C-alpha cells in the first residue's frame, strides 16, 4: 500500500469510494424508474470497472472502439452496441468478436453502409446487427428524424435481412445546458424526436426492438418516458467539471483527478507551474460556456480538497500554468517546488485517455490498487 506522495507525477488518481457512490446513484435511479440501462465503457476502459457494471447493470454495454469489445467481452458483457458509425473495413474484425453468447450491434446512418452490411451477412453468415443513428441537434453523425425516406430505406434493407434492431440518439447538446429547466427541455426533445422515427417506422410495419437514448445529463435530468426502452450514459462513473457545470453533480462527486508536482513558482506572473500539461490533462475546455469557467482544470490539494478559485489557466505540452481565477479576491497559496496538487478534469474521458493506469485510493487516501486501462482502437 502506497502513500500518494510516493507516486511519480503526473499520474491518474481514482477515488474508489466516489466511484462506488456514482455507480450506486445510477443503479438507484434505474431501480426507481425501471430503466433498462446500457453503460458506456469508453470513459473507463478498464476490466475492473466493467465487472462492476456487469454486476450492477447486467450484460449490455456501449463501446466506442473494437478494442473495448476484444478486451471486455469476458467481463460479463455479451450485448455490445458499437457507438461509432461503422465502415466495411471493420466488419471482419468485429465479426471475430461474435459468438453464441456475444451479440454486436452497430450504428448506421447510410443506405450504402446498410447495403454493405447485408452483403457481408449474405456472404459470411455472420450476423452483425444494426441500429439507425438519429441526429437530434446537428451534433455529429446521424440522420434527422424527419428524413423519412432515408430512414425507411435503411430500416427496410436491414429488416429484410433480419439485422435491424431499432433506433438510437445522443443528446450531445445537453452538455451545453446550464440549468435544470434547459436540461429538461433538452431531454424532452431527445425523447420526442426519437419517437418521431419510431412512430414512422411502425406505421410502415417495421418494429423497433430497441429504442435507445442517452447522455449522462439527460439521464440524470429526471425526465422519463416509458416508451423509451433503453437509456445510456458513460461519464457518470467519474463525473467531471462539465457535468458539474451542467448541474448534475458537485465537485466532491468527481472521482478522477490528475496528481501533479509543482515545478516552479513564477512570482512575476503570479503563477504556479506544474508538470501536468496537455499530454496529462487534455486540452478539452468544455466548461468555457458554463457559469463557472474552470480553465483546463480545478486545482485541489494533495488530498483532493478544492482550493477555491485556483485553476489551470493555460497548458503547454508538459507544463500547466496555475493562476487565480480572473476577478477573484483569492490569493495564490504558498507552495514550493515538489509540492503535490490534484487537478479535477474538464472531461474525464479525455483526461483518462492520456494515461494507462488508475492509482486507486481508499477512504484513508492510500493507494491500495492499480487498475490498468487501454487506450487504442
Query: What mean pLDDT is reported for the chain?
Result: 94
Q: Percent of the chain beyond pLDDT 90?
A: 84
Rounded Cα–Cα distance for residues 12 and 219 (Å)? 27
Angle in degrees, 0-180, between the axes of helices 148-160 and 111-124, rounded to the nearest 10: 0
pLDDT tens-digit map of 69-111: 999 999 999 999 999 999 999 999 999 999 888 999 999 999 9
| Per-residue pLDDT at 174 | 81
Rounded-to-integer distance, Cα 66 and Cα 351, Å: 20
pLDDT at 149 over 80: yes
pLDDT of 176 > 90? The answer is no
Whether the pLDDT of residue 262 is over 90: the answer is yes
- The reported pLDDT for the residue numbered 240 is 97
Nearest to 365 by CA among 19, 22, 17, 24: 17
Q: Which residue would you say has higher pLDDT here, 88 or 171?
A: 88
pLDDT of residue 301: 97
- Does the pLDDT at position 214 exceed 80? yes
pTM: 0.95
pLDDT of residue 289: 76
Grid-cell match 508536482, residue found: 261
pLDDT of the residue at 164: 98
Residue 316, judged by CB atoms within 10 A of its CB (0-12, 13-18, 19+), counts as exposed
In the chain, the domains with their CATH numbers are 3-10+249-372 (2.40.37.20), 41-233 (3.20.20.10)
Residue 124's Cα: distance from chain center in Å? 33
**Could you identify the residue written with the cell 488508475?**
358
The rounded distance, in Å, linking the Cα atoms of 140 and 88 is 20
Q: What pLDDT does 34 receive?
A: 85
Cα separation, 111 vs 30, whole angstroms: 35
Residues 302 and 55: their CA atoms lie apart, in Å, by 32
Dihedral sign of CA atoms 60, 57, 178, 249 in order: negative
CA distance 27 to 34: 10
Cα dihedral 262/263/267/269 (nearest 10)? -90
DSSP-assigned states of every residue in 54-98 = HHHH-SEEEESSHHHHHHHTTTT--EEEE-S---GGGHHHHHTT-
Burial class (CB in 10 A: 0-12, 13-18, 19+), 31: exposed
Share of the chain above pLDDT 70, in %: 99
Region 302-309: mean pLDDT is: 96
- For 318, list phi and psi in degrees, rounded to 5: -120, 15
Burial of 43 (0-12, 13-18, 19+ CB in 10 A): buried
Amino acid at each position: 500500500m502506497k502513500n500518494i506522495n510516493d507516486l511519480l507525477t503526473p499520474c491518474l488518481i481514482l477515488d474508489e469510494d466516489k466511484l462506488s457512490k456514482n455507480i450506486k446513484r445510477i443503479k438507484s435511479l434505474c431501480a426507481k424508474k425501471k430503466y433498462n440501462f446500457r453503460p458506456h465503457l469508453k470513459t473507463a476502459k478498464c476490466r475492473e470497472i466493467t465487472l462492476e457494471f456487469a454486476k450492477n447493470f447486467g450484460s449490455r454495454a456501449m463501446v466506442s472502439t473494437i478494442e473495448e469489445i476484444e478486451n471486455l467481452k469476458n467481463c460479463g458483457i455479451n450485448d455490445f452496441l458499437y457507438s461509432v458509425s461503422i465502415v466495411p473495413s471493420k466488419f471482419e474484425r468485429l465479426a471475430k468478436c461474435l459468438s453464441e453468447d456475444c451479440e454486436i450491434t452497430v450504428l448506421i446512418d447510410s443506405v450504402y453502409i446498410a447495403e454493405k452490411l447485408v452483403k457481408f451477412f449474405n456472404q459470411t453468415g455472420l450476423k452483425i446487427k444494426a441500429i439507425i443513428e438519429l441526429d437530434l441537434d446537428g451534433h455529429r453523425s446521424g440522420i434527422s428524424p424527419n428524413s423519412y425516406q432515408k430512414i425507411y430505406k435503411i430500416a427496410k434493407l436491414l429488416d429484410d435481412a433480419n439485422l435491424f434492431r431499432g433506433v438510437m440518439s445522443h443528446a450531445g447538446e445537453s452538455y451545453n445546458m446550464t440549468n435544470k429547466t434547459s436540461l429538461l427541455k433538452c431531454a424532452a426533445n431527445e425523447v420526442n424526436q426519437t419517437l418521431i422515427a419510431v412512430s414512422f417506422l411502425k406505421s410502415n410495419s417495421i418494429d423497433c426492438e430497441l429504442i435507445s437514448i442517452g447522455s449522462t445529463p439527460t439521464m440524470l435530468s429526471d425526465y422519463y418516458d416509458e416508451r423509451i426502452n433503453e437509456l445510456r450514459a458513460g461519464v457518470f462513473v467519474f463525473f467531471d467539471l462539465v457535468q458539474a457545470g451542467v448541474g448534475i453533480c458537485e465537485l466532491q462527486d468527481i472521482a478522477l483527478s490528475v496528481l501533479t508536482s509543482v515545478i516552479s513558482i513564477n512570482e512575476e506572473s503570479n503563477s504556479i507551474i506544474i508538470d501536468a500539461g496537455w499530454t496529462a490533462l487534455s486540452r478539452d475546455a468544455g466548461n468555457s460556456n458554463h457559469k463557472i469557467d474552470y480553465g483546463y482544470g480545478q486545482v485541489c490539494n494533495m488530498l483532493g480538497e478544492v482550493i477555491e478559485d485556483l485553476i489551470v489557466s493555460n497548458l503547454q505540452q508538459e507544463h500547466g500554468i496555475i493562476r487565480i481565477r480572473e476577478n477573484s479576491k483569492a490569493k495564490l497559496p504558498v507552495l514550493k517546488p515538489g509540492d503535490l496538487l490534484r487537478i479535477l478534469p474538464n472531461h474525464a474521458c479525455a483526461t483518462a485517455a492520456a494515461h494507462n493506469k488508475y492509482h486507486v485510493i481508499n477512504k484513508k487516501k492510500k493507494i491500495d490498487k492499480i487498475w490498468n486501462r487501454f487506450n487504442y482502437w
